[in-house]
Amino acid sequence: MPANLTAEARAKLAKYTAAKTIEEKIKALQEFLSVAPKHKGAENLLLWATRRLAELKEELERERRKRQSGRGPRIFVEKEGAAQLVVIGPPNAGKSLLVQKLTGARTKVADYPFTTTLPVPGMLKYEDIYFQLVDTPPLTEEAPQFVSRVAGLARNADGILLVVDLSTGDPIEQYEKMRDILAQHGVLVEKPRGTVKIEKGGSGGIDVIMVNGGKIVDGTIKDVEKILASYRIYRARVIISGEVSLEDIELAIFRPLTYKPTIVLANKIDVPGAKERYKKLYNYLAERRDKSVWLLPVSAKYGVNLNKLGELIFKRLNIIRVYTKQPNGEPSKTPLVLPKGSTVIDVARKIHSDLAEYFMYAKVWGPSAKYPGERVGPDHVLEDGDIVEIHARR
């Protein structure tokens, strides 16, 4: 068993997973921490439990304040447009000015830190779609009160724009600090070798599903069942994507990790010394294993490269635009936005579940069609710019 917990400690964690209210969760975690072994094999879980406890206490405090005042600050931002991206960065990096210049949103810009305390959204136009950019409070250890709020916004978004300030300090350090703070809160900006998703419940048994070359590097499916059983989980779907370890699986029970496609915006490229700092960061990111983090030097102040961001986001998110049409009608003006690799039946499903159920065939015009109006089946893979006409039984 990876974490080598005592039966007592395990029982406390089981109590945590079963807890319904914040108060119950806090109590269970406190009990867990008081009995948890302090040895090396349990380090990650202890770290997680300590952080989670702090988060829950904060949540409780927020709830309390909300009850008192009738309504609390708006933590989550309703999604609009093709995708939502949170703009995250240290104090004074230029987050607010970037969002303002890119979207016209009226968010406060000032040369003193902590001007932005609530998330502010704006829309960035890219050709015929919009991306929603959300300005956020600063992410730094010096302002712990914002950390879980910013991480929460990131977890809920489709992607992250990580702003690094080229006018001061070491850009690599800035990047690593933010990456690590987010990771501690379950948000990954670098693509991991593998991910685990555990959906509790279901009809019965533990169902381990491997996708995208899913593989457990140090164990078997039997080991997974044993780990889950030790937390009294007997019914669940465990979805493994890529390479994962048994410890990854154990941690996923309590700390779901989610990976978000990320672009680093190296801001203030206009200031003296910024180019050298940018070079350092460029070389550093280019050496990373998978190059999943992209980089764009910008100047919010002088508008440098801001016109390139829309296309970069579009490519980074791996999405396509598909236009639907009725027989004899015109293609829709606004496209549906879908993940790359989506098929005709995905489009049908997105329009209406009935359309998918009674699907007969589709006609396709555009990049994926062999000829204009090609007749295709449900599994035909679409490309950006395709026009689709779906025919269903009535």
| Residue 68: burial class (beta carbons within 10 Å; 0-12, 13-18, 19+) | exposed
Structure tokens at 291: 């190059």
Does the protein bind ligand GDP through residue 301 (CB under 6 A)?
Answer: yes
Residue 174 sits in the site that holds Mg ion (CB under 5 A): no
Q: Which of residues 110-129 bind ligand GDP (CB under 6 A)?
A: 110-111, 113, 115-116
Q: Does 136 bind Mg ion (CB under 5 A)?
A: no
Which x/- pattern over 11-50 shows residues binding ligand GDP (rule: CB under 6 A)?
----------------------------------------
Out of 132, 262, 267, 343, name the contact with ligand GDP by CB under 6 A. 267
Question: Any contact of residue 305 with ligand GDP (CB under 6 A)?
Answer: no
Q: How many positions of this chain bind ligand GDP (CB under 6 A)?
A: 22
Contact flag: residue 91 with ligand GDP (CB under 6 A): yes
What residue 81 binds from ligand GDP, Mg ion, none (CB within 5 to 8 A, per partner kind)?
Answer: none
Among 28, 188, 300, 320, binds ligand GDP (CB under 6 A): 300
Give the C-alpha distances (Å, rounded to integers) separating 177 from 46, 118, 184, 322.
21, 22, 11, 38
Q: What is the DSSP string of 263-298?
A: EEEEE-TTSTTHHHHHHHHHHHHHHSSS--SEEEE-
Q: Return the residue of 88, 97, 206, 388 that touches ligand GDP, per CB under 6 A.
A: 97
Distance CA(197)–CA(248), nearest Å, equals: 10
Burial classification of residue 378, based on how many CB atoms lie within 10 Å of its CB (0-12 exposed, 13-18 middle, 19 or more buried) = middle
Considering CB distances under 5 to 8 angstroms, the limit depending on partner class, which of Mg ion, ligand GDP, none binds residue 89? ligand GDP
103 part of the interface to ligand GDP, by CB under 6 A:
no
Contact assessment for residue 126 and residue 316, using Cβ atoms and an 8 Å cutoff: no
- Is residue 92 within the footprint of Mg ion (CB under 5 A)? no
The residue range among 29-37, 53-61, 106-114, 362-370 that interacts with ligand GDP, by the rule CB under 6 A, is 106-114
Cα–Cα distance, 393 to 359 (Å, whole number): 7
Burial code (b: 16+ CB inside 10 Å, e: under 16) for 243-278 equals bbbbbbbbbbbbbebeebbbbbbbbbbbeeebeebb
What residues line the site for ligand GDP (CB under 6 A)? Answer: 89, 91-97, 109-111, 113, 115-116, 138, 267-268, 270-271, 299-301
